Amino acid sequence: MAVAPEAAPIAAAAGPHVPELLDRIEARLGEIAASYPEPLSGWASGTIAAGGKRLRPLLVLVAAGPPAGWTAGADAALVRAGVAVELVHSATLVHDDVLDAAPMRRGEPTVWSSAGRRAAIATGDALFADAFRELVRNADVAQVQALSRAGSALAEGELLQRADAWDTGVAVERYLHRCELKTARLFEAACALGVHAGTGDAALAGELVRFGRRVGLAFQLLDDVLDVSGPVERTGKHRGTDLLDGTVTLPFLLARERDPAIAAIDLRAVTTPAHAEALCDAIAACGALDDARAHALGLVTSAKGELPAGLAEPQRAALDLVADGVVARYA
């Protein structure tokens, strides 16, 4: 699989080793999916083939820095780490589709919609289990701990989101904490895995974890903006899908402070795509989308500004492009 166009500048900046390792990650993902018996193999292969930008495995490779500083066998360890991160990400998407009863994902029918709830749960469970089977081959407790903490955070964040469903009075701080758990922690883990599998520099891992946290949080905030702003041709779903699901996000939380009519809305009464789009229009009209974007851009700016001073220039340039790419994805 060729590097996605959006990721190509990042891979080029990081060095010629990155596209080759991404290809190895892609090949291994395919091998794992194909190793399952049918029909599980078909569901897993479809989930992985639906792809995406492979941003999290790319972040693993960029966080590792130039190959000259790697420990022996680091290339294989980085491939396993990249595979593990992507498998966890894929597993959570399949499980999210079950919880959200989502018919489409990345323009394709979800496992839940095409094969049912039990099939989707089994597919997600298999991908999640194989993430750790792959990573444990690196024989590094710190790596397994980093990914397991992220997995636990993902589950906690999903439970918080379910607990907050339909609650229009949720505090912004609780929403941001939920986003950190659901999204940012896996970005953190990708950075930590990259450093541990590459140079093994624990101090640098801690510094890049902070970068991953801010970029991951910005990623989720901008994704929530896109749910309100659309369009369907770009997102593959109706505007306001989160609102229809009872998920209250930053654009709504900011809008409720500006518009009493929005603050008074009972989300359970928003029952059709037309209702949701009308609410999205109201949220946009009061300027809440601009403020939510500004919050995300501030996170990206701080992430770039706090990168360690001693990074090699190719690595710094590539990390800057990762952060910029999160913004460009939603521009």
Distances (CA, A) of 89 to 56, 60, 103: 8, 13, 18
What are the C-alpha distances in Å from 180 to residues 150, 211, 308?
Answer: 10, 13, 22
pTM for this structure? Answer: 0.94
Query: According to CATH, what is the number of the domain 15-328?
Result: 1.10.600.10
Give burial (CB, 10 Å; 0-12/13-18/19+) of 218.
buried
pLDDT at 6: 76
* The predicted structure's pLDDT at residue 222: 95
Peptide bond before residue 231 is cis, with ω within 30 degrees of 0: yes
Residues in the chain: 331
pLDDT at 176: 98
Q: Quick one: tokens of 45?
A: 């292969």
Going residue by residue through the chain, which has 331 residues, state the pLDDT in tens, using 9 for 90 and above.
457 777 888 989 999 999 999 999 999 999 999 999 999 999 999 999 886 789 999 999 999 999 999 999 999 999 999 999 999 999 999 999 998 888 888 778 899 999 999 999 999 999 999 999 999 999 999 999 999 999 999 999 999 999 999 999 999 999 999 999 999 999 999 999 999 999 999 999 999 999 999 999 999 999 999 999 977 656 567 899 999 999 999 999 999 999 999 999 999 999 999 999 999 999 999 999 999 999 999 999 999 999 998 898 999 999 999 999 888 876 5
Q: What is the pLDDT of residues 243-255, one digit of tens each?
A: 999 999 999 999 9
Q: What tokens does 306 get?
A: 């706090």
Q: What is the pLDDT of residue 50?
A: 80
pLDDT (0 to 100) of residue 310: 85
Among residues 50, 46, 36, the alpha carbon closest in space to that of 115 is found at: 46
The C-alpha torsion from 25 through 212 and 184 to 133, rounded to 10°, is 30
Backbone φ, ψ for residue 269 (5° rounding): -85, -10
